[in-house]
């Protein structure tokens, strides 16, 4: 980014190549299979380009990029009139599909059985937006509390609290499925 600031236009191309997958993946994990993910990732880089003169290397470039990308995701949610970044998965008919009932037929015995990655993804979607975001940034992107705090615009102790609540909620959502599996 500093080379781009100094006038090297090819440095911006390098930034896009190096970080486009990270921006896309972060948006996908936050928004889910939203049709606008690709457009929002492109918009994030347009904003990075426009912020060339204002960029200050106070932290990692990824923190700067993720903050822009996260704000775009929040704006999309606000524009869509949603209260949560992710909704439950939808059937081909567009009907919401709830989390699996642990008392129902065991998902691993069904013909199209869901795996644990699916259960975790569904539980992650059920978390409140701020908890989900903090957990995604730490677990998938490897960011520390300070970096997550910059992106979410909260102090590190608040990030720590969000992560704790997110893990507790994930445990509460997944434990019945785990218990049901062990009863098998």
Q: Percentage of the chain surpassing pLDDT 90? A: 28
Q: How many residues does the chain have?
A: 184
Residue after which a domain boundary falls, among 87, 121, 141: 87
Residue 112 lies in a domain: yes
Residue 158 is predicted with a pLDDT of 94
Longest distance between any two alpha carbons in the chain, whole Å: 63
Q: What CATH number does the domain containing 168 carry?
A: 1.10.10.10
pLDDT at res. 55: 86
Output the pLDDT for position 162: 93
The pLDDT of residue 88: 53
With 0-12 CB in 10 A as exposed, 13-18 as middle and 19+ as buried, what is 134?
buried
- For residue 145, the model assigns a pLDDT of 93
Q: Where among 87, 122, 138 does a domain terminate?
A: 87
Q: Tell whether the model's pLDDT for residue 94 goes beyond 80.
A: no
Domain that includes residue 109, residue range:
97-184
Write out the two tokens for 129.
């937006």
pLDDT score at 103: 54
Question: Strand, helix or coil at 141?
Answer: coil
Residue 120 inside a domain? The answer is yes
Q: Is 14 domain-assigned?
A: yes
100 DSSP 8-state letter = P
**φ and ψ of 90, to 5 deg:** -115, 150
Last residue of a domain, one of 87, 120, 139: 87
Number of other CB atoms surrounding residue 160 within 10 Å: 14
């Amino acid at each position: 980014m500093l080379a781009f600031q100094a006038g090297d236009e090819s440095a911006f191309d390098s930034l896009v190549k190096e970080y486009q997958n990270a921006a896309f993946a972060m948006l996908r994990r936050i928004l889910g299979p939203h049709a606008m993910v690709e457009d929002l990732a492109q918009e994030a880089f347009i904003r990075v380009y426009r912020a060339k003169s204002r960029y200050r290397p106070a932290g990692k470039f990824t923190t700067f990029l993720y903050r822009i990308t996260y704000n775009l995701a929040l704006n999309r949610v606000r524009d869509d009139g949603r209260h949560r970044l992710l909704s439950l998965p939808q059937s081909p008919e567009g009907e919401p599909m709830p989390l699996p009932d642990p008392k129902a037929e065991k998902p691993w015995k069904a013909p199209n059985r869901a795996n644990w990655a699916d259960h975790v993804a569904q539980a992650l979607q059920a978390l409140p937006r701020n908890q989900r975001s903090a957990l995604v940034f730490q677990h998938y992107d490897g960011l520390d509390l300070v970096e997550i705090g910059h992106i979410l615009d909260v102090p590190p102790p608040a990030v720590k609290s969000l992560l704790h609540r997110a893990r507790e909620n994930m445990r509460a959502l997944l434990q019945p499925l785990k218990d049901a599996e062990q009863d098998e």
